[in-house]
Chain A
Amino acid sequence: MSVRHALLALLSEGPKYGLQLRQEFEARTGEVWPLNVGQVYSTVQRLERDGLAESDPGDAAQPGPQRRYRITTAGGAELTAWLHTPPGTDAPPRDELLIKVLVALRLPEVDVPELLQAHRRHTIMQMQQYTRLKEHAGDDVSLLLVADAQLFRLESLVRWLDVAQARLRDHVPPAPAAGAGTTGGSASPDDRSGSAAPAAFGRAER
């Protein structure tokens, strides 16, 4: 989520005060991403520094909240360019759930199906909340879109959990080999989950 471009988009509607920017941002995104005031100002200052926005010259002495900002021509061009740029797909976001499951696979005392179910239940409860939000959203389109986006993201987690569970059930590695893998360190370098894990960690922590 680019706060920078969201604020540019708000400014493209007309000059706005800093406080107003924060309120409108939260309203537009269904209050899903709360912003603190400091975040707003630091972002706006960076926009000003890059020549994408400018404050009223008379307000320069004012403190942040009282300053009024307007978008520049360069800012408008940047906004248009950003809107048409596909979101970055090459670097997946850090996936905590994946990491947790991979770690659990290494720990013999963890009941993996139970863990998967716990995450599934938790995810579904989150989905229930978004669905409830949707149910009560009326015709607030942006809120509906945000909720949909979250629901699809969470649904993909549930589906991943389902597939993971099915895979684990169908392809349980022989128990002694799994035991050897965990107790004997790197004794099985050809173990697929073992070799995949470091790569996943590496990507996640980059």
Chain B
Amino acid sequence: MTGVPPLELRGVSRTYGEGAAAVHALTDVDLTVSAGELVAVMGPSGSGKSTLLTIAGSLEEPTTGDVLIEGTPLSGLRRNDRARLRRRHIGYVFQDFNLLAGLTAVENITMPLELDGVRTRQARAAGLKALEDLGLADRADAFPDELSGGQRQRIALARALVGERRLLLADEPTGALDSHSGEGVMRLIRSACRSGAAAVLVTHDAQLASWADRVVFVRDGRVVDSTPPPPGPESLLPGATGREAR
């Protein structure tokens, strides 16, 4: 799969409404996210960054342009095929309301697998493994309302990554958390990327964005700027601090 980027946006535009009332949520956006890369999309409210995420995740269709998931253009796919693509290849994490009430932690994690036809027992094994990795094995049968916010987001993340999924889309995933719990979630995302997942993180929070390998700045529906791939931590050492980015 090396060489085929997990996510590629080509000239994506999205317009709501028509004529004078038309709102251009996104204009001609190009974005490629490679395997193992964490890209943060930063911008103020209403800049179109969330629309970018929903289009990238096939929840919405671009007015023009195309989205390629692992090289497959979404434009040719029917609704059900896109749904299947989502449950096999894309994991979503939102700010809140990520978990289905009524399902236990482990059942929430296994839901995408089961939707895809994996037998309950197999899926449960995979879910328990994921919970163990999170250090939440003892909370497997707890319902969402019995979990803390940080635990809930970590479980949502586990669900987004369960199975063979390699593209993680997160919309302000720590927005409802305090900084410390938020950092725990970001560390999980980083480690997912280190093991090969591609991730797109939409946020207006600079601290969150600073976890990314690359930060893309969006303003008024356009990509206005982005940071180059980062230098290592050694750049903080004396003599390197003054180095200009460009």
B237 proximity list for chain A (CB < 8 A)? 31, 34
- A127 proximity list for chain B (CB < 8 A): 206-207, 209-210
A131 touches B215 (CB 8 A): no
**Are B224 and A34 closer than 8 Å at their CB atoms?**
no
Q: Given A129, A155, A158, which contacts B233 in the complex, CB threshold below 8 Å?
A: A129
Q: How far is the CA of A136 from the CA of B230 in the complex (A)?
A: 14
Interface residues on B, range: 20 to 34
Asked if A130 is at the interface of the complex by the 8 Å CB criterion, the answer is: yes
State whether the Cβ of A180 lies closer than 8 Å to any Cβ in chain B.
no
A34, A120, A125, A155: the one contacting B207 at CB < 8 Å is: A155
- Is A162's CB within 8 Å of the partner chain B? yes
Residues in A whose Cβ lies below 8 Å from that of B233? 129, 132-133, 136
Pair B232/A124 contact, Cβ less than 8 Å: no
Judged by a CB distance under 8 angstroms, whether A135 is at the interface is yes
Q: Is the Cβ of B44 less than 8 Å from the Cβ of A121?
A: no
The A-contacting residues of B in range 225-246, CB under 8 angstroms, are: 225, 227-228, 230-233, 235-238, 244-245
B206 touches A135 (CB 8 A): no
Q: Is A166 an interface residue (CB 8 A)?
A: yes
Q: Are A131 and B206 in contact (CB under 8 A)?
A: no
Asked whether, in the complex, the Cβ of A135 is within 8 Å of the Cβ of B210, the reply is no
Majority secondary structure of chain A interface residues (helix, strand, loop or mixed): helix
Instruction: List CB contacts (< 8 Å) of B141-189 with chain A.
Output: 187
Which parts of A85-132 form the interface with B (CB within 8 Å)? Answer: 117, 120-125, 127-132
Provide the residues of chain B in CB contact with A203, threshold 8 Å. none
B230 and A125: CB pair below 8 A?
A: yes
A166–B238 touching, CB < 8 Å: no
Q: A158–B227 Cα gap in the complex (Å)? A: 14
Closest Cβ–Cβ distance, residue B211 to chain A (whole Å): 5
Q: Is the CB of B217 within 8 A of A120?
A: yes
- Are B215's CB and A124's CB within 8 A? yes
**Complex partner residue of A151 from B207, B232, B245, CB under 8 angstroms:** B207
Q: Are the C-beta atoms of B206 and A121 separated by less than 8 Å?
A: no
- 8 Å CB interface, A147-182 against B: 151-152, 154-155, 158-159, 162, 165-166
Asked if A158 and B206 sit within 8 Å, CB to CB, the answer is yes
- Give chain A nearest CB distance to B65 CB in angstroms: 24
Q: Are A128 and B238 in contact, with the CB atoms below 8 A?
A: no
The closest CB in chain B to the CB of A134 belongs to B183
Which chain B residue lies CB-closest to A144? Answer: B183
Q: Give Cα distance in the complex from A133 to B234, angstroms.
A: 8
Residue among B204, B212, B228, B235 having the largest count of chain A Cβ atoms under 10 Å:
B235
Given A121-B225, A124-B227, A135-B187, the answer on whether A151 and B217 have CB atoms closer than 8 Å is no
Given A158-B206, A166-B44, residue A133 in contact with residue B236 (CB < 8 A): yes
Chain B residues closer than 8 Å to A133, beta-carbon distance: 233, 236
> Chain A residues near B227 (CB, 8 Å)?
121, 124-125, 128
Contact across chains for A124 and B236 when beta carbons are under 8 A apart: no
Q: 17 new A-B pairs (CB below 8 Å) besides A31-B237, A124-B227, A130-B236?
A: A34-B237, A121-B217, A121-B227, A121-B245, A123-B206, A124-B206, A128-B215, A128-B227, A128-B230, A129-B233, A129-B236, A130-B210, A131-B207, A132-B233, A133-B233, A135-B187, A155-B206
For the complex of A and B, the 10 pairs showing the least CB-CB separation, nearest first, are A127-B210, A158-B206, A131-B210, A133-B233, A34-B238, A132-B233, A155-B206, A128-B210, A128-B230, A125-B245
Identify 7 residue pairs between A and B in the complex whose beta-carbon atoms are under 8 Å apart, listed by A's number: A31-B237, A120-B217, A124-B206, A128-B212, A128-B215, A129-B235, A152-B207
